[in-house]
Structure 1
Amino acid sequence: MEQAGVVPFASRQEFGAHLRACVERSVATLRMFDPDFSVFPLGASDFDALLRAFLRKGGHLYLAAHRTDHIERNCPRFMRLLKDYSHRIECRVTGRNLHQLTDSFCIGDEVSIVRRFHSDHMRGEAAFDTPQSSEISAERFRAIWAESLPGLHATTTGL
């Protein structure tokens, strides 16, 4: 049975469209978790423009990942964004004890969510302006954040 306001998706294109919608709707915070962010369009110019607009308006972006090597190697736009908005972006890397976590999600302002059930697959769901849909993932993100260490810095020295 489908929950009201929840839209299922099953393709990369649908995931990307819902993710962009989540960023566009967000004003204060974006909290993202993925094992490596390889499926997130962090290197795409249109996504960069959405994130820049969000950050320019005073938003804060929080990223948590098991590994950041994909972003460092394949997302120069995001690395530039991190350098330009280092005061509004925080990135953390999980410890080994959390590497069994395989879901993936983006929470916007604690009221919208785009969630993939497993990071190896595109199947998931999106819900907008429904705080109850993001409550569990928001709690999980806070726990992941608390157990993670700073990582992915704008410069190689982390300054």
Structure 2
Amino acid sequence: MPAELADWPKLPPLPEGVFDGREAFESSLRLALDAAAAQGWREIVLSDPDFSDWPLGDRSTVAALQAWSATGRSCVVLAKNFDVFARHHARFVQWRQTWSHIIECRICNAASAPAVPSAIWTPTWFLQRIDIDKGRGVCGRDRERRGGLRELLDECLRQGRPGFPASTLGL
């Protein structure tokens, strides 16, 4: 276990099954990012139309991402647009600038593209909001559901393009 994770708190198991409500979504999201750090997940995909209601600007979220980030890790962030990041997720934006070499941000808003799902995908666990407005969804390790989600994400990524640069260079 890497030194920065030695003091990471013992985590409850990742949730399985249906979740309902914004608090349950945020709790599952935070727990997943803590697990990513504690367990050294190699790959994470974060996906949402705009991430407006994700707690990506919270100190605890950025601390978990900081503990997770290491050599050999990769994160894809997929959105229809990244307009809210500068206003609502300033800590994440700053963290991303430091770790831009492991974070790929992609925009998927082509007319022919599928709707961008609100989800977290990893090779061993997933979370997907089915009803974004009410914060309802499903999460777990189910291989079939995780595989279906990955296929949807892959199609969005295939039709997407790079977006949300880590920095803007001017002349």
Q: TM-score, normalised by structure 1?
A: 0.86
2:35 corresponds in structure 1 to 25
2:169 corresponds in structure 1 to 157
- Residue type at the aligned position of 1:101: A
2:136 corresponds in structure 1 to 123
> Larger RCO: Structure 1 or Structure 2 (Cα < 8 Å, ≥ 6 residues apart)?
1
**Offset of residue 99 of structure 1:** 6.8
Q: Does the 8 A contact of 2:108 with 2:116 survive in 1? A: no
- Residue type at the aligned position of 1:104: S
Distance 1:12 1:59 in 2: 28
1:143 corresponds in structure 2 to 155
1:114 corresponds in structure 2 to 127
Distance 2:117 2:130 in 1: 5
Identity %: 26
Moved more, 97-106 or 144-153: 97-106
Query: Where does 1:1-150 land on structure 2 (aligned, <5 Å)?
Result: 6-26=16-36, 27-56=41-70, 58-97=72-111, 101=115, 103-108=117-122, 110-128=123-141, 130-150=142-162
**Offset of residue 14 of structure 1:** 0.8
Q: TM-score, normalised by structure 2?
A: 0.80
- Residue type at the aligned position of 2:19: F
Distance 1:42 1:73 in 2: 11
Q: CA RMSD in A?
A: 2.0
- Residue type at the aligned position of 1:38: S
Evaluate the alpha carbon distance shift between residue 94 and residue 144 of structure 1 in structure 2; reply closer, same or farther with a 3 A threshold: same
Evaluate the alpha carbon distance shift between residue 98 and residue 35 of structure 1 in structure 2; reply closer, same or farther with a 3 A threshold: farther
Is the radius of gyration larger for structure 1 or structure 2? 2
SS in 2 for 1:92: strand
Distance 2:169 2:132 in 1: 30
**Offset of residue 35 of structure 1:** 0.4
SS in 2 for 1:90: strand
Write out the 4+ residue segments of structure 1 that deviate beyond 6 Å after TM superposition: none
**Offset of residue 132 of structure 1:** 2.9
Task: Give the gaps of 5 or more residues in structure 2.
Answer: 1-14
